Amino acid sequence: MNTEKQIRSGYVAIVGRPNVGKSTLLNRLVGEKISIVSRKAQTTRHRITGILTNDDAQFVFVDTPGFQTEHTNALNRAMNRGVTQTLADVDVVLFVVEAGRFDAKDKAVLKLLPEDRPVILVVNKVDKIAEKEKLLPFLAAVTAERSFTAVVPVSATKGKQLEQLLAEARQYLPHEELLFAEDELTDRSERFLASEYIREKLFRLLGDELPYSTTVEIEKFEVEGNLRRIYAAIVVDRDGHKAIVIGKGGETIKRIATEARQDMEKLFDGKVYLEVWVKVKSGWNDDERLLRSLGYE
Ligand SMILES: Nc1nc2c(ncn2[C@@H]2O[C@H](COP(=O)(O)OP(=O)(O)OP(=O)(O)O)[C@@H](O)[C@H]2O)c(=O)[nH]1
C-alpha cells in the first residue's frame, strides 16, 4: 500500500488569545465560513467547528470556549476548565500567536495547554512583517516558554504556508480511517450551522440579558429535495429567561426565527421551514443526553 495516501484522521484544536486570527485560519482551512461573528466573544460552545477532508487526511477542528484572562468570575473559570478538558482529548493543538507579539494573554493561554499533547506553534500574520529576520528573536522568546513539536509561520489571510501546517498536523492524527463520512459531514455541519445561526440571532438581540449557558438544540433536521425542515429548541435555565426569549406577544422569538431562517435560506440555497421554541432546562449541564446531542460526548 502507498503509505503516502494512507488516510489519517483526528481532532485538532486551534487556540490562542483573541484577535490572533483563529477564525480566519479555520475558515481558510475549511473553506466555508462557519465561525459566526457575534457581539459576544464567548458564544461558541460546540466542539466541532469544521472538518477538512483531503486525499490523505481528515482534520476535525474543535473549538474551545473563549479564553477570558481578564475576568475571573465563576463562569470564566468554568470555561477555562472546559478548555482544559477539550484539549485533553484532541490529538494536536495549534497554538496561534501573532508575529512579533507575545504578551501576558498569550502566556495565559499557553499555560492552559496540556503538557502531554503535541502543540504546534503557528505564527500568524507574517505578511505584516517586512523583514523576516526580525522574527528570529521573537521565535526564540516564544519557544523558550515551552517545547513545541513544530513552528510554522503562516498568513491566514493570504493563505500562505497552510499546506505545511496541515502536513505537520497530519503526523499526529492517530486514526487510520475517516472519523466522519461525507454525508454525515454535511448533515452535521448543516445542523451545526442551523444552531449557530439561531444562537447568533439570540445573542445579538438579547446577549446582555441571557447567560452563556443558553444553548440551541436542533431536535429534528429533515431534508426533502430543496426544502429543509428544522425544529430547534432554545434551551434556557429559568422561566424568566424563557419570557425574555419569547418577548412581548412572541415578538422576540419570531424575529429570531425569521432572521435565522432568512440567513439559512441564503446559506443552504433552498427553502427552509424553521420552528423555534423555548425549553426551560435547569441544570442542563448535568443532563448527559442533552450534552451528547450538543456534541459534548
Ligand atoms: N495581516 C493579517 N491579518 C490577519 C491574518 N489573520 C487574521 N488577520 C486579521 O486579524 C483580525 C482578527 O482575526 P480573527 O480571525 O477574528 O481572530 P480570532 O483569533 O478568531 O479572534 P477571537 O474570535 O476574538 O478569538 C482580523 O481583522 C483578521 O482579518 C493574517 O494572516 N494577516
Average pLDDT score over residue span 129-146? 90
Closest Cα to atom 9 of ligand 1: 21
| pLDDT higher than threshold 90 for residue 43 | no
53-81 average pLDDT score: 66
> Ligand 1: distance of its center to the CA of 19 in Å?
5
Residue 145 has what pLDDT? Answer: 93
Query: What is the model's pLDDT at position 100?
Result: 94
ipTM of the complex model: 0.97
The Cα–Cα gap between 25 and 13 comes to: 12
pLDDT of residue 211: 79
Cβ partners under 8 Å of residue 250, min gap 6: none
Percent of the chain with pLDDT over 70: 75
Q: What is the pLDDT of residues 190-245, one digit of tens each?
A: 888 888 889 888 988 887 788 777 889 999 999 898 899 999 999 998 889 999 99
| DSSP codes, 33-49 | --SPP-SSTT----SEE
Q: What is this structure's pTM?
A: 0.64
- Mean pLDDT is lowest, of 183-187, 220-224, 228-232, 292-296, for 292-296
Q: Indicate whether residue 128 lines ligand 1 (CB < 6 A).
A: yes
How much is the mean pLDDT over the chain?
Answer: 81
Instruction: Give the position, in ligand 1's atom list, of the atom nearest the Cα of 155.
Output: 31
Domain boundaries, the chain: 3-170, 182-293
Record the cell numbers describing residue 211, joined without a space.
Answer: 447567560
266, containing H or E segment: helix 251-268
**CATH class name, domain 3-170:** alpha beta
20 lines ligand 1 (CB under 6 A): yes
Phi-psi region of 225 (alpha: psi -120 to 50; beta: other; left: phi over 0): left
Q: Which three cell numbers stand for residue 204?
A: 445579538
Q: Is 124 annotated as a binding residue?
A: yes
In this structure, CATH architecture of domain 182-293: 2-Layer Sandwich (3.30)
